[in-house]
């Protein structure tokens, strides 16, 4: 496990390629106009090229996957990825005191050999990398918003148990990086509702047990706040 500074040459930093049918010249003109008006594509949602503006993400914009005539490469955010990003953005806006002594940075992780991956046998590329910096302490958290209805049991699920693998490699990562206060962690944010997953795994799997296994749930409501759990773990 190598831990090194993130450079602007990293494959995760790449331009979007928008694909618009030539048969629709009005749409082509609309997209060209958007590209010339940076603030509109960064901070506003539009009909044909929706995006999410989040000032703590390491590049802008973050485009959202949506049915329609406009496609893009790399693919836009799917529903669970968008939901996580919006929840994190809302948390930062709603609880500024939580970030008074901490810096927070987010990066979408690409797949197919371009992003940071684990498990060579089946290739797991967590959707997001979240850095939380507090004084001399730096936490790097890999986050995967993901449906678990068809996945293996938490006891044998390699994606869920990534946090254990990261802890095993932590000492070497600290030594290699020169960061003695480095922490590595990971979470699955389940797009499968808690009640549905509990039926699959049994009544002994309450929210606390899932949290111990680093599985958290949408949505943030009723006093349950998975974003706060991630940041304050």
5 belongs to a structural domain: no
Give residue 34's domain range.
Answer: 17-73
- Whether residues 61 and 133 share a domain: the answer is no
Of residues 29, 38, 32, 30, the one with CA closest to residue 61: 38
Q: Is residue 9 part of a domain?
A: no
Within a domain: 4:
no
Verify that 142 and 35 share a domain, yes or no.
no
Q: Which residues pair with 73 in a beta bridge?
A: 17
Q: Which residue has the higher pLDDT, 155 or 222?
A: 155
- How many Å apart are CA 128 and CA 108, to the nearest integer? 5
**pLDDT score recorded for residue 37:** 66
| Domain identity same for 160 and 212 | yes
Residue 11 located in a structural domain:
no
- Residue 93 has a CB neighbour count (10 Å cut-off) of 8
Same domain for 106 and 211: yes
Residues 143 and 41 in one domain: no
pLDDT confidence of residue 10 = 74
Residues 32 and 109 in one domain: no
- Please state, for a pLDDT cut of 70, what percent of the chain lies above it: 83
pLDDT in tens, 162-215: 999 999 988 888 888 888 999 999 999 999 999 999 999 999 999 999 999 999
- In angstroms, the Cα distances linking 139 to 98, 128, 176, 181 are 15, 13, 16, 8
Whether 143 contacts 230, CB under 8 Å: yes
Query: Of 73, 100, 119, which one is at a domain's C-terminal end?
Result: 73
Cis, peptide link before residue 74, omega less than 30° from 0 = yes
Give the global pTM.
0.82
How many domains does the structure of the chain reveal?
2
Name the pLDDT band for 6 (thresholds 50, 70, 90): confident
The pLDDT tens digits of the residues spanning 75-119 come to: 788 999 999 999 999 999 999 998 999 999 999 998 776 788 887
Same domain, 138 and 170: yes
Tokens describing residue 157: 């699920």
Q: Residue 51: beta bridge partners? A: 63
- Per residue in 16-53, is it b (16+ CB within 10 Å) or e — as a string? bebebeeeeeebbebbeebeeeeebbeeeeeeebbbbe
Of 40-54, 80-94, 213-227, the one with minimum mean pLDDT is 40-54
Q: Is residue 8 part of a domain?
A: no
For residues 34 and 97, membership in a common domain is answered with no
Sign of CA dihedral 193, 199, 200, 205: positive
């Amino acid at each position: 496990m190598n831990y090194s500074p993130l450079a602007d040459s990293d494959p995760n930093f790449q331009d979007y390629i928008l694909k618009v049918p030539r048969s629709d010249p009005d749409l082509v003109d609309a997209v060209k106009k958007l590209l010339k008006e940076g603030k509109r594509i960064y901070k506003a949602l539009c009909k044909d090229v929706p995006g999410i503006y989040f000032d703590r993400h390491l590049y802008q914009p973050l485009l959202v996957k949506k049915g329609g005539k406009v496609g893009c490469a790399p693919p836009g955010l799917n529903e669970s990825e968008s939901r996580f990003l919006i929840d994190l953005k809302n948390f930062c806006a709603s609880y500024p005191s939580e970030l008074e002594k901490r810096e927070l940075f987010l990066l979408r992780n690409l797949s197919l050999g371009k992003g940071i991956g684990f498990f060579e046998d089946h290739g797991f590329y967590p959707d997001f990398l979240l850095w939380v910096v507090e004084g001399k302490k730096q936490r790097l958290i890999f986050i995967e918003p993901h449906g678990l209805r068809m996945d293996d049991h938490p006891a044998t699920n390699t994606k869920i148990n990534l946090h254990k693998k990261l802890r095993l490699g932590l000492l070497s990562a600290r030594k290699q990086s020169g960061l003695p206060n480095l922490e590595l962690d990971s979470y699955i944010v389940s797009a499968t509702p808690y009640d549905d997953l509990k039926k699959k795994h049994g009544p002994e799997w309450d929210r606390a047990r899932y949290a111990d296994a680093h599985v958290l749930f949408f949505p943030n409501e009723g006093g349950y706040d998975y974003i706060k759990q991630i940041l304050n773990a």
